[in-house]
């Protein structure tokens, strides 16, 4: 049986199983991939952070006391992050949504950028709704992490995360993105979210402040510490247009640019540099 909904991703793919079983396996496989990379990047970046304490954004504020609770919650919320993607792909396969455009390397980049912008739009307005008094009870759990860490990326109510990630299930009825684009965007969002919550700044540059719409880790970190600013995810576009950008975001990034120490990956080298400064 040919899976017509996947044309452009793997043309002519044959699978000796029902649609339902295939997508159920895809859901759990994608969830397993998300969990494995969550821990791999989590421990890896924690190791790097430990060697670069000067890059911590909220200095003097503890951020690890909720780690166990954040990880437990994340294991549930990561499933709800994978579910909308599976629903969207299944809807395409069953013909409930318009047939996806054919995938080609010539159109991959512009389609991916369009998908990012549309997701960022969805995320911004859904995020603002979650900060209203009616929906904030769903979002409050995520904001228990005032100084976020990489472990708090998915530390949120399952329904909260389902609303934020519901883009993948909804967009297929409006824009027929190829499955490869939808999967790529969800993977990018996974890693982007983890770096955005890591609490340490590694990306400060002129490309992450005005007039560029791109963001550094400081952007979302300020959302956790200030609550009423920086609702976007990939871009600062909607925050700037609608006046919800943190007043000191651009200056904070510029300060990091000017004061950011060299990246240290060896503890021995770092200790030698500290000793040299002390002498």
pLDDT at 254: 96
Q: Do 146 and 61 contact (CB within 8 A), yes or no?
A: yes
Q: Is the per-residue pLDDT at 11 higher than 80?
A: no
Q: Tokens 């994608």 — which residue?
A: 30
Q: What percent of the chain has pLDDT over 70?
A: 89
Distance CA 262, CA 264 (A): 6
Q: Do 81 and 161 contact (CB within 8 A), yes or no?
A: yes
Helix (H) or strand (E) holding 207: none
Instruction: Report the pLDDT averaged over residues 11-30.
Output: 80
Q: Is the per-residue pLDDT at 266 higher than 80?
A: no
Instruction: Report the pLDDT averaged over residues 95-110.
Output: 96
First to last CA, the chain: 72
Question: What's the mean per-residue pLDDT of the chain?
Answer: 90
Residue numbers of the domain that contains 101: 4-202
**How many distinct structural domains can be found in the chain?**
1
Residue 211 resides in a domain: no
Instruction: Categorize the per-residue pLDDT at 18 as very low, low, confident or very high, splitting at 50, 70 and 90.
Output: confident
pLDDT at 274: 45
Instruction: Categorize the per-residue pLDDT at 30 as very low, low, confident or very high, splitting at 50, 70 and 90.
Output: very high
Q: Which has more confidence, 7 or 234?
A: 234
pLDDT at 240: 98
Distance CA 124, CA 120 (A): 6
Distance CA 42, CA 20 (A): 32
Instruction: Categorize the per-residue pLDDT at 188 as very low, low, confident or very high, splitting at 50, 70 and 90.
Output: very high
Binning the chain into helix, strand and coil, the percentages to the nearest 5 are 65, 0, 35
Quick: pLDDT tens for 56-90. Answer: 999 887 767 789 999 999 999 999 999 999 999 99
Q: Is the per-residue pLDDT at 273 higher than 60?
A: no
Distance CA 279, CA 90 (A): 64
Residue 250 resides in a domain: no
pLDDT at 272: 42
Residue 29 resides in a domain: yes
Distance CA 5, CA 9 (A): 9
Residue 258 resides in a domain: no
Helix (H) or strand (E) holding 93: helix 67-94
Residue 13 resides in a domain: yes
- Which of 182, 184, 152, 158 has the alpha carbon at shortest distance from 168? 182
User: What six digits make up the tokens of 126?
Assistant: 């859904």
Model pTM? 0.88
Tell how far CA 254 is from the center of its chain: 23
Distance CA 54, CA 49 (A): 9
Residue 215 resides in a domain: no
Distance CA 198, CA 221 (A): 8
Residue 37 resides in a domain: yes
Residue 97 resides in a domain: yes
pLDDT at 14: 54
pLDDT at 9: 46
- Which of 7, 198, 199, 208 has the alpha carbon at shortest distance from 101? 7
Distance CA 161, CA 207 (A): 29
């Amino acid at each position: 049986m040919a899976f017509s909904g996947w044309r452009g991703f793997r043309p002519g793919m044959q699978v000796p199983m029902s649609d339902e079983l295939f997508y159920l396996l895809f859901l759990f496989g994608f969830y397993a991939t998300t969990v494995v990379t969550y821990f791999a990047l989590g421990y890896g970046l924690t190791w790097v952070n430990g060697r670069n304490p000067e890059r911590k954004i909220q200095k003097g504020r503890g951020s690890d006391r909720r780690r166990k609770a954040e990880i437990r919650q994340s294991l549930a919320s990561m499933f709800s992050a994978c579910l909308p993607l599976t629903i969207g792909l299944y809807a395409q396969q069953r013909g409930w949504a318009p047939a996806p455009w054919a995938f080609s390397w010539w159109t991959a980049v512009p389609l991916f950028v369009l998908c990012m912008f549309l997701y960022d739009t969805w995320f911004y307005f859904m995020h603002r709704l979650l900060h209203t008094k009616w929906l904030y009870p769903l979002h409050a759990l995520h904001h228990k992490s005032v100084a976020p860490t990489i472990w708090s990326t998915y530390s949120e109510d399952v329904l909260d995360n389902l609303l934020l990630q519901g883009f993948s299930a909804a967009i297929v009825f409006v824009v027929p993105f190829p499955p490869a684009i939808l999967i790529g965007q969800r993977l990018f969002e996974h890693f982007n979210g983890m770096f955005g919550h890591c609490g340490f700044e590694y990306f400060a540059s002129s490309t992450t402040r005005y007039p560029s719409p791109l963001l550094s880790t400081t952007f979302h970190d300020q959302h956790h510490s200030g609550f009423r600013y920086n609702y976007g995810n990939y871009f600062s576009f909607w925050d700037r247009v609608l006046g919800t950008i943190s007043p000191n975001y651009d200056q904070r990034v510029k300060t990091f640019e000017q004061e950011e120490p060299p990246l240290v990956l060896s503890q021995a080298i770092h200790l030698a540099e500290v000793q040299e400064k002390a002498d």
